[in-house]
């Protein structure tokens, strides 16, 4: 049951994700989908094609026809939900049958930035994320069921990559002729099957690192939020670039770098919002207070919400917001786009700003200076993390006498404690057995003080369990 997570399904191959479990997942999922067609793609991991076969068998047994898109980035999988495909009687995409179909759901087989033994499923049903209680209920059903009988294979190959590339080239044709030199790192992930071709079609001056998909990730781990994984693209930027881009394994997260800095997710959101008129922007609870305050000062509406790509996809639709962001590099554009997280689309929106003459460093240098920690993980267990958070929340209602003065406690996701001169966050990770903390203040000593105070209270809460 541990593979059924808040945002998606994720586990180790073959110990947790194998023929039996994945076939059952496909069969159970088929019962949650109205309509016949389910679009399925996979990332560059070595076991992804094998898992595709098991999942397709389960979906077929549940009465669904699989639209197979092959190796694609996650945002291309999402894109398929907004397209029509002409299928023919021969079991393919083409002109022999006047039957246009739209997927009722999509499944992306991906381990994202996890270690190479991991894989998983990101599920979209009727253009909405399938997550939270839906996934947990699916897990209960899978745990109780027998392996379904095999049925006739119903798989139709579709070319979503070409359609996605054509769409991006059309939408961003004005980028042709950009003079700036771009360097980018696909990390041997799925971005490599899309990004080089888009850049070539737009005639951009771009040089790529590790563009060949390789699920063993021989050059570095595909997680650009970790500093060591950026060393090669930083070197390329220093040698010959004006701006650098780095993608995670399935290209739904992106990091942008200048020669001066790695631009944080909340800072990127502020840059993106410059091209929007009085937007509504959602940021996860890990985002800097500078982002929320700056947006409000510009006349925008700033909303703080839960961490997690599924949570933010649902919230942006609920509010009809223009943009949502996560600190770790997920960006969701509802302005001129479909509202899901797409690192490739975000790249092109950033290049628009550069082409328009916006100096990224100059804009960010104008922001108030604060001292912020990276995400700091506090080790715990799956069984302890939520009771520990509940105990911590209880203790914050009556903190120790020497605890820094609290102005407000925000509980949208964990506890974000607003102090007199900064804030501290503690939340339980929905994907790993850790508490995630982050601290910020205009004063370095205050940031350290808030960090120590909350860490001491976590230790007291743990001892009290």
Distances in whole angstroms, Cα of residue 65 to Cα of each of 41, 69, 90, 356, 458? 14, 13, 13, 45, 50
**Are 360 and 271 a contacting pair, CB within 8 Å?**
yes
Structural tokens at position 275: 């091209």
Residue 2 CA to residue 7 CA, distance in Å, equals: 13
Structural tokens at position 54: 């098991």
Is 398 labeled as catalytic in the residue annotation? no
What is the residue whose two structure tokens read 């404690």? 417
Is 112 labeled as catalytic in the residue annotation? yes
- Cα Rg for the chain, rounded, in angstroms? 23
Residue 123 CA to residue 464 CA, distance in Å, equals: 39
Identify the DSSP state of 146: P
- Out of 5, 10, 45, 427, the active site residue is 10
Distances in whole angstroms, Cα of residue 406 to Cα of each of 95, 258, 314, 397, 409? 66, 37, 31, 10, 8
- Out of 48, 104, 112, 310, the active site residue is 112
Positive or negative, the Cα torsion across 290, 296, 299, 301?
positive
Q: What pairing do the DSSP bridges indicate for beta strands 280-284 and 301-305?
A: parallel
Residue 259 CA to residue 180 CA, distance in Å, equals: 13
- Out of 5, 309, 330, 349, the active site residue is 330
Residue 209 CA to residue 205 CA, distance in Å, equals: 14
Is 21 labeled as catalytic in the residue annotation? no
Identify the DSSP state of 228: G
**Are 159 and 76 a contacting pair, CB within 8 Å?**
no
What is the residue whose two structure tokens read 């020669």? 259
Active-site amino acid positions? 10, 112, 330
């Amino acid at each position: 049951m541990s593979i059924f997570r808040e945002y998606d399904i994720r586990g180790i191959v073959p110990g947790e994700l194998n023929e039996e479990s994945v076939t059952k997942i496909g069969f159970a999922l088929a019962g949650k989908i109205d309509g016949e067609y389910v679009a399925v793609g996979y990332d560059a991991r070595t076991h992804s094609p094998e898992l595709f076969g098991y999942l397709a068998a389960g979906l077929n047994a549940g009465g669904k026809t699989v639209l197979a898109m092959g190796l694609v980035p996650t945002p291309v999988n999402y894109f398929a939900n907004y397209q029509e495909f002409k299928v023919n009687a021969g079991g393919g995409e083409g002109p022999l049958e006047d039957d246009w179909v739209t997927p009722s759901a999509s499944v992306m087989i991906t381990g994202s930035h996890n270690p190479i033994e991991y894989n998983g499923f990101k599920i979209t049903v009727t253009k909405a994320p399938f997550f939270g209680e839906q996934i947990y209920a699916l897990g209960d059903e899978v745990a109780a069921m027998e392996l379904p009988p095999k049925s006739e294979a119903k798989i139709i190959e579709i070319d979503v990559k070409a359609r996605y590339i054509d769409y991006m080239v059309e939408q961003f044709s004005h980028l042709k002729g950009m003079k700036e030199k771009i360097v980018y790192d696909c990390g041997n992930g799925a971005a490599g099957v899309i990004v080089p071709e888009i850049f070539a079609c737009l005639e951009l001056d771009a040089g790529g690192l590790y563009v060949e998909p390789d699920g063993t990730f021989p050059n570095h781990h595909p997680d650009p939020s970790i500093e060591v994984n950026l060393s090669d693209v930083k070197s390329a930027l220093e040698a010959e670039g004006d701006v650098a881009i780095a993608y995670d394994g399935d290209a739904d997260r992106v990091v942008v770098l200048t020669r001066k800095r790695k631009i944080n997710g909340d800072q990127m959101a502020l840059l993106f919002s410059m091209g929007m008129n009085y937007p509504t922007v959602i940021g996860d609870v890990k985002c800097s207070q500078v982002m929320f305050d700056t947006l409000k000062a510009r006349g925008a509406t700033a909303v703080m919400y839960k961490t997690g790509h599924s949570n933010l996809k649902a919230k942006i639709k609920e509010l009809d917001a223009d943009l949502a962001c996560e600190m770790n590099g997920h960006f969701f554009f509802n302005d001129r786009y479909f509202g899901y997280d797409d690192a490739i689309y975000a790249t092109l929106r950033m290049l628009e700003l550069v082409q328009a003459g916006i100096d990224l460093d100059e804009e960010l240098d104008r922001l108030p200076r604060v001292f912020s920690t990276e995400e700091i993980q506090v080790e715990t267990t799956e069984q302890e993390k939520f009771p520990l958070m509940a105990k911590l929340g209880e203790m914050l209602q009556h903190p120790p006498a020497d605890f820094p003065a609290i102005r407000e406690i925000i509980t949208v996701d964990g506890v974000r404690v607003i102090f007199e001169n900064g804030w501290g966050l503690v939340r339980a990770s929905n994907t790993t057995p850790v508490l995630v903390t982050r601290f910020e203040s205009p004063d370095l000593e205050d940031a350290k003080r808030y960090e120590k105070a909350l860490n001491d209270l976590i230790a007291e809460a743990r001892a009290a369990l």
